[in-house]
Homo-oligomer: A and B are copies of this chain.
Amino acid sequence: MPQNQGDLKFLTSFYHCKSFNEFEFKKNQLITVKGGKIVSIQEASGDIDSDTVVIPGFMIPGFIDTHIHSPQYVFTGTGYDLGLLEWLQKYTFPKECQFDDLKHTRNVYEKVVSKTLKNGTTCASYYATIHPHSSLELARICVEKGQRGFIGKVNMDRNSPDYYTETTESSLRDTREFVKNVLGLESDLVVPCITPRFVPTCTSELMLGLAAIAKEFNLPIQSHLSENKNEISWVQQLHPESETYSHVYYDHGLLNKNTIMAHCIHLEPKERELLREQQVGISHCPNSNFCLHSGVMNVRRLVQEGFEKIGLGTDCAGGYSPSLMDSMRQALIASKVIHIESRNETAKEQFDALHYYHVFYLATLGSAKVLNLDHKLGNFEVGKEFDALVIDMSGIDLFDHDDEYTRFEKFIYLGDDRHIKQVYVQGKQVI
């Protein structure tokens, strides 16, 4: 599928963000790409070279999904009658355990990567399963199809069903093997990611061992934090020695600038302080937070408190949609709910609803920051890699009064994969 990585030149308009509040539209730009990187961006003037590709619509940076469970794709869009802990037992674990079968793995993971790419996800932080070979297969499929991936072999050595669990020893051994195998693929598209499922399913010994592996190989770490109130109580029971849920990860060496924590809905102020100090990336998963009735996360407050590393996660199958376009809209809705519920609150600015360009930031540059990839992804800047989507608004009705901004707003609210006509990763067209 990926084409030759040639030198590319585009004449295009584009939208991107330079920060949470800096949204920019640039008209008629000449973007030159060499070896997958943007080498120049200039206002178009005069004649256009014959080798320049003229984009009729516009471009945006590729979407980055900071939290998605690849095996759960098989039941995405079903089973939202339970809260997190019961949902894991009834729907998730029975389906995840089937991924010891490599044929099943390939069948499903090819669909996941194809579907997410088609929806504009140029980079995803994946949770696979506890199976190291199956998790490696996901890495291979990402490389084959040209999608960037943080690939996580999941770890769980306690409070897990008999049919889907590991010993501490096997979990650490398999993780080390998995890490080496992913690194052995020698692709700069995929990175192994240390993935303790969450505190309840990981012993202290396992967490400490995983922290050591992450440190040894300088790897990203991902997990779940403060998603569900019953989960939080359970963690407090399991770890009375730690000050809060966040501190459990911190006390086990798993909370630092390489960490991505999903959900983070019910954080206490001292947890938010710890996460900010440690420069942890936060993956906001609004669809899942609604579907599993976990709670409503307040992005605006985190921003007000100084967090920059906030991005979006589809969290399939906790969330029902594999599309970041859906995540953006759900993030808008979540912020509206926060605003509605805040009528009697002081510090009103912490409860302002988000605007369309804010959630666009979250899906692009914000998510790049969460993965510590903002030096090379997230927007159109010289020196960054060229991960981009070509957007065609056909099918979305526009009227005379629409301008560049309302056109884009309509794309955010009404767009879907039909409007994503081409997908580029590292300068290669993959869709």
Contact = CB atoms under 8 A, between A and B. Distances in A.
Interface of A: 73-81, 95, 108, 111, 115, 229, 290-291, 293-296, 320-321, 329-330, 332-333, 336-337, 339-341, 343, 353, 355-356, 396-397, 399, 401, 406, 409-410, 412-414, 416, 418
A414 B291 contact: no
B414 A290 contact: no
A340 B397 contact: no
Copies of this chain, count: 2
A417 to B, nearest CB: 9
A77 B410 contact: yes
Contact of A76 (B78, B329, B414): B414
A333 B333 contact: yes
B293 A339 contact: yes
B320 A78 contact: no
Nearest to A320: B413
Contacts of A413: 76-78, 320-321
Query: 7 smallest A-B Cβ distances: which pairs?
Result: A77-B413, A77-B410, A320-B413, A290-B336, A78-B406, A77-B414, A78-B409
A290 B409 contact: no
A325 to B, nearest CB: 11
5 contacts: A75-B406, A77-B410, A78-B406, A80-B332, A296-B337
Contacts of A95: 401
Contacts of A409: 77-79
A399 B74 contact: yes
A193 to B, nearest CB: 24
Contact of A336 (B111, B291, B396): B291
Nearest to A95: B401
Contacts of A401: 74-75, 95
Nearest to A396: B77
A95 B402 CA distance: 12
Contacts of A330: 333
A30 to B, nearest CB: 29
A11 B111 CA distance: 31
A418 B95 CA distance: 28
Contacts of A111: 397
Contact of A414 (B320, B329, B406): B320
Contact of A81 (B73, B75, B229, B355): B355
A87 B294 CA distance: 31
